[in-house]
Chains A and B, each alone.
Chain A
């Protein structure tokens, strides 16, 4: 399909007022609403001095704004073209004229016709020429250098109308010649911070700082830009002949360029003659600090990480753009790393920052961010808590984290730990751990629909490398449904199956747990029995604290990494479930290759309901044992005896 749909939006009081769809060629009303929700952040950010092109994966949108010259508002009308990015390309978007004249041709009704793509846009020759002008090349070089350096979101200063369009025309042309497949989006005039898009996003903003690019990448960019300015066709031929279009990754493309122009050296250069490209090309210069700091700790660089929230494969973690949480804006904002920063400066700058999952998002709500440390220490170990609502998952998790925070892992087992994301950890401490442990309050249940890890730690054992251990707490109600809201289950390394003994102990009720069934079905369907470890926790064991063998285990809180002790405890809990005719709850033991059973009491006694105070105080018992067993089973603990745990 080469047709392009059109949507006209009206904002009588400007971009800060209500935006309404005035007319469209779309026949589906729902689709119209969808586009408004999707585009609204960019609609509000741009104005008639620029245009926006947004590549969303299988669809792209071009936004142009219009303002009556007599109006005191920034814009009143915005025309959006939507279509496949192979039809509505970024270059074509730049070749279309300004909106004012075109609006005169639109019918005065709420029904628009589809637009048809022509081979070249009406402004093709103009933008092509200006893209090679000196003022455009001056702006193109630093922008291209930052793009080559791996930045995914670049803000450039806006200085005059139509220049940014010309610069972007040059950027997309050169990236196309380099065979860079990343989708490119841009906003050529942004009055405020603009949300990002998948792939590369460039915004031009008045007053934005012109950050000095990395000198090495600047050399590469200068070479490309000057050749582009002289003869784009010649540059295209040169690059093609040199195999630039053959498939490779970003680092491979940079390496090819350096081979093509060997006067740009990668090592041991000295100023004045050759220039060092300050990057390994597995991790561009702006990320080198992060990468090298992990290398020092024995980790690998430039590896892929699976997003635990959407399962998107993030190919090169270190090449992602950094973000920070802005409490004032209540939003993540881009955290550019000045290319001239040394390693220490970079490390300090990105500490506590986030990486946005680069998966294509259908809307802003599905965007998600991961702590920068999440992907820097090898594949993270994902541990989830499974169990019905009120089985005590949150209390168990809070008690565990409380014990970890209090140094229990280090003191008793020699396992060092620190938070992956200090802010996240602090929130969990203040929201869950402190109310329970310090104030003895009964916690509320886990909120449904929240699918991310509650807390995460970098753990190391016996002076070994650090590894990320992420702890997921999912509402029992979510787990009881079969849907896509808990995708981490498909890549989880370990699962705590949490049992509340009260519903079936002595009540004659048939024990069962549909959350176990649902999750075990996922494990079985994915044939992951040998890759996911299980720790079945007879939780709230204080409720059966006088029953043998619970009483004995609850009062003998061992602190040894002893596989035999884990095995004997597993034997006894299994036998207890058997005696209580609740053996169905031991299903994870039978299914998963590595599995243990435990008794644990996160509080030491019962409370009267959410918000009430535990009358006995809170004295967690054996809450670290399941975690230690899990760390052993999932390979975080590497001692020979750890390998025997769960077998």
Chain B
């Protein structure tokens, strides 16, 4: 069966294409349905809103998936997309029957394979899971529903893939109650005790339990005393406390495990907004000389020199080296410089400012 699809690629261009469709339903999030589609030879997953009385919830869930996909794309840029999170291909978000297109998921749910990890696989799992969370944090997204059913394991590549962003939220949003078993939902997200705003410290609670789950062959953490027995008491110290005192994924990965931060510095910034923001503060200064500037905006408002040029790191992918070269590129020259470098086989990642 074929269908004509009109959608927006995650890269921004609009696509109209004939797609081959497989009507077999795939496992996916509640209030959504999924099926395989093929655009020429490219296989994709199409997520749509389920019919029924909860359809309005389905719209929101699909929006969450699209937003997370787009945000992750923006921070990861072309060619540098992290395999630890599912990847959006495109979306049609304006019609009454919207959908999202994802690259096929990789791996199997932890609920299925989490009981059979080898020791070296467990280490890889922990690093990969925290790496994925670091990218989520850079995108300003909290998954909010990490569990053995939403995290996949690709045993061949020894990589995690975090899937199902249907309940994800942006940092700063008021927390909403997440339905589900309390073993995977932190107290601040459980119905009846929900409160506060979403932050980069929210997902680590469920991630810590996943780490325990894999280390202990599928055992759910019921007693924190078991952490020491599993050798996790230091790594996961503070993870199960109140959200404000929890470590971030980056702190676990970099500070406690000694790995490199997978996310280049400055990737969480939106450089295309920086110039406009400076214009704003200049306009305000003109109207109200000496008016106080909120701490969150001081850097932008006063650090114009640092913002004028964005530093980029391009890594020689062919050589497989980690060595990088930093170049200063003014915002208006970003696209040209990036394309020229990619033509030479370099991989670009936004770096320190």
Known: A548-B273, A564-B296. A570 touches B172 (CB 8 A): no
Query: Would B56 and A616 count as touching, CB distance under 8 A?
Result: yes
> What bracket does the count of chain A residues touching chain B fall in?
35 or more
Query: Would B94 and A593 count as touching, CB distance under 8 A?
Result: no
- Which residues from chain B contact A567 at a C-beta distance below 8 Å? 294, 297
Q: Does B280 contact A (CB under 8 A)?
A: yes
- Minimum CB–CB distance from A575 to chain B (whole Å) comes to 3
- The distance in angstroms between the C-alpha atoms of A66 and B236, with both chains bound, is 104
Query: Would A546 and B170 count as touching, CB distance under 8 A?
Result: no
Q: Does A413 contact B (CB under 8 A)?
A: no
| Residues 260 to 280 of chain B near chain A (Cβ within 8 Å) | 270, 272-277, 279-280
Query: Would B277 and A615 count as touching, CB distance under 8 A?
Result: no
- The distance in angstroms between the C-alpha atoms of A545 and B277, with both chains bound, is 19
| Residues 567 to 605 of chain A near chain B (Cβ within 8 Å) | 567-568, 570-572, 574-579, 583, 586, 589-590, 593, 605
- Which residues from chain A contact B277 at a C-beta distance below 8 Å? 571-572, 574-575
Chain A 543-557, CB-CB to B under 8 Å as 1, else 0, gives 101101101100111
Query: Would B276 and A568 count as touching, CB distance under 8 A?
Result: no
Q: Does A647 contact B (CB under 8 A)?
A: yes
- Which residues from chain A contact B287 at a C-beta distance below 8 Å? 590, 593
Closest residue of chain A to B275 (Cβ to Cβ) is A578
- Which residues from chain A contact B74 at a C-beta distance below 8 Å? 548
Binds A, one of B64-72, B158-166, B212-220, B335-343: B64-72
Closest residue of chain A to B280 (Cβ to Cβ) is A574
Query: Would A572 and B96 count as touching, CB distance under 8 A?
Result: no
- Which residues from chain A contact B297 at a C-beta distance below 8 Å? 567-568, 571
- Minimum CB–CB distance from B317 to chain A (whole Å) comes to 27
- Which residues from chain B contact A616 at a C-beta distance below 8 Å? 56, 59, 96
Q: Does A304 contact B (CB under 8 A)?
A: no
- Which residues from chain B contact A577 at a C-beta distance below 8 Å? 276
Query: Would A555 and B66 count as touching, CB distance under 8 A?
Result: no
From B59, B280, B296, A570 is in contact (CB under 8 Å) with: B280
Q: Does A195 contact B (CB under 8 A)?
A: no
From B63, B71, B288, B294, A548 is in contact (CB under 8 Å) with: B71
From B93, B169, B279, A546 is in contact (CB under 8 Å) with: B93
- The distance in angstroms between the C-alpha atoms of A25 and B96, with both chains bound, is 68
Query: Would B96 and A615 count as touching, CB distance under 8 A?
Result: yes
- Which residues from chain B contact A608 at a C-beta distance below 8 Å? 96
- The distance in angstroms between the C-alpha atoms of A576 and B280, with both chains bound, is 11
Q: Does B38 contact A (CB under 8 A)?
A: no
Query: Would B170 and A578 count as touching, CB distance under 8 A?
Result: no
Q: Does A435 contact B (CB under 8 A)?
A: no
- Minimum CB–CB distance from B221 to chain A (whole Å) comes to 31
Chain B 23-35, CB-CB to A under 8 Å as 1, else 0, gives 0000000000000
Chain B 229-257, CB-CB to A under 8 Å as 1, else 0, gives 00000000000000000000000000000
Closest residue of chain A to B279 (Cβ to Cβ) is A578
Closest residue of chain B to A554 (Cβ to Cβ) is B170
Q: Does B17 contact A (CB under 8 A)?
A: no
Query: Would A571 and B281 count as touching, CB distance under 8 A?
Result: yes
- Which residues from chain B contact A590 at a C-beta distance below 8 Å? 283, 286-287
From B56, B171, B283, A589 is in contact (CB under 8 Å) with: B283
- Minimum CB–CB distance from B101 to chain A (whole Å) comes to 14
Query: Would B276 and A575 count as touching, CB distance under 8 A?
Result: yes
Query: Would B280 and A575 count as touching, CB distance under 8 A?
Result: yes
- Which residues from chain A contact B275 at a C-beta distance below 8 Å? 575, 578-579
Query: Would B270 and A548 count as touching, CB distance under 8 A?
Result: yes
- Which residues from chain B contact A571 at a C-beta distance below 8 Å? 277, 280-281, 297, 300
Q: Does A617 contact B (CB under 8 A)?
A: yes
Closest residue of chain B to A440 (Cβ to Cβ) is B56
From B169, B197, B270, B276, A578 is in contact (CB under 8 Å) with: B276
Q: Does B119 contact A (CB under 8 A)?
A: no
Query: Would B273 and A572 count as touching, CB distance under 8 A?
Result: yes
Closest residue of chain A to B69 (Cβ to Cβ) is A546
- Which residues from chain B contact A337 at a C-beta distance below 8 Å? none
Main SS at interface, chain A:
helix
Q: Does B82 contact A (CB under 8 A)?
A: no
- Which residues from chain A contact B222 at a C-beta distance below 8 Å? none
Q: Does A606 contact B (CB under 8 A)?
A: yes
- Which residues from chain B contact A551 at a C-beta distance below 8 Å? 67, 71, 170
- The distance in angstroms between the C-alpha atoms of A590 and B56, with both chains bound, is 39
Q: Does B114 contact A (CB under 8 A)?
A: no
Chain A 187-223, CB-CB to B under 8 Å as 1, else 0, gives 0000000000000000000000000000000000000
Chain B 170-186, CB-CB to A under 8 Å as 1, else 0, gives 11111000000000000
Query: Would B276 and A574 count as touching, CB distance under 8 A?
Result: yes
Query: Would B283 and A579 count as touching, CB distance under 8 A?
Result: no
- Which residues from chain B contact A552 at a C-beta distance below 8 Å? 140, 170-172
| Residues 46 to 99 of chain B near chain A (Cβ within 8 Å) | 56, 59, 63, 66-67, 70-71, 74, 93-94, 96
Q: Does B291 contact A (CB under 8 A)?
A: yes
| Residues 601 to 635 of chain A near chain B (Cβ within 8 Å) | 605-606, 608, 615-617, 619
- Which residues from chain A contact B140 at a C-beta distance below 8 Å? 552
Query: Would A555 and B279 count as touching, CB distance under 8 A?
Result: no
| Residues 533 to 565 of chain A near chain B (Cβ within 8 Å) | 543, 545-546, 548-549, 551-552, 555-557, 564
- Which residues from chain B contact A548 at a C-beta distance below 8 Å? 71, 74, 270, 273
Chain B 112-125, CB-CB to A under 8 Å as 1, else 0, gives 00000000000000
- Minimum CB–CB distance from A234 to chain B (whole Å) comes to 67
| Residues 280 to 339 of chain B near chain A (Cβ within 8 Å) | 280-281, 283, 286-288, 291, 294, 296-297, 300
From B170, B197, B279, B296, A583 is in contact (CB under 8 Å) with: B279
Query: Would A579 and B174 count as touching, CB distance under 8 A?
Result: no
From B171, B276, B281, A576 is in contact (CB under 8 Å) with: B276
- The distance in angstroms between the C-alpha atoms of A579 and B174, with both chains bound, is 28
- Which residues from chain B contact A617 at a C-beta distance below 8 Å? 56
Closest residue of chain B to A619 (Cβ to Cβ) is B56
- The distance in angstroms between the C-alpha atoms of A619 and B173, with both chains bound, is 16
- Which residues from chain B contact A606 at a C-beta distance below 8 Å? 94
- The distance in angstroms between the C-alpha atoms of A300 and B67, with both chains bound, is 53
| Residues 65 to 100 of chain A near chain B (Cβ within 8 Å) | none
From A549, A557, A570, A619, B270 is in contact (CB under 8 Å) with: A549
- Minimum CB–CB distance from B256 to chain A (whole Å) comes to 29
- Which residues from chain A contact B169 at a C-beta distance below 8 Å? 555
- The distance in angstroms between the C-alpha atoms of A606 and B170, with both chains bound, is 22
Query: Would B281 and A556 count as touching, CB distance under 8 A?
Result: no
Find the residue from B96, B140, B197 having the highest chain A CB count within 10 A: B96
- The distance in angstroms between the C-alpha atoms of A615 and B297, with both chains bound, is 39
- Which residues from chain A contact B174 at a C-beta distance below 8 Å? 556-557
- Which residues from chain A contact B288 at a C-beta distance below 8 Å? 593, 647
Query: Would A647 and B96 count as touching, CB distance under 8 A?
Result: no
Query: Would B273 and A549 count as touching, CB distance under 8 A?
Result: yes
Query: Would B67 and A546 count as touching, CB distance under 8 A?
Result: yes
Closest residue of chain B to A590 (Cβ to Cβ) is B283
Query: Would B170 and A555 count as touching, CB distance under 8 A?
Result: yes
Query: Would B59 and A579 count as touching, CB distance under 8 A?
Result: no
- The distance in angstroms between the C-alpha atoms of A647 and B71, with both chains bound, is 31
Closest residue of chain A to B278 (Cβ to Cβ) is A575
- The distance in angstroms between the C-alpha atoms of A193 and B46, with both chains bound, is 71
Closest residue of chain B to A574 (Cβ to Cβ) is B280
Find the residue from B197, B270, B280 having the highest chain A CB count within 10 A: B280
Q: Could you list 8 further interchain pairs (A-B, Cβ under 8 angstroms) beyond the known A567-B297, A590-B286, A616-B56?
A: A548-B273, A556-B173, A557-B174, A567-B294, A574-B283, A575-B273, A576-B276, A617-B56
Chain A residues close to B by CB (< 8 Å): 543, 545-546, 548-549, 551-552, 555-557, 564, 567-568, 570-572, 574-579, 583, 586, 589-590, 593, 605-606, 608, 615-617, 619, 647
Cβ contacts A to B, 21 pairs, < 8 Å: A543-B94, A548-B270, A555-B169, A555-B173, A556-B170, A556-B172, A556-B174, A556-B197, A557-B174, A564-B294, A571-B297, A575-B274, A575-B275, A576-B276, A578-B280, A579-B272, A586-B283, A593-B288, A616-B56, A619-B56, A647-B288
Chain B residues close to A by CB (< 8 Å): 56, 59, 63, 66-67, 70-71, 74, 93-94, 96, 140, 169-174, 197, 270, 272-277, 279-281, 283, 286-288, 291, 294, 296-297, 300
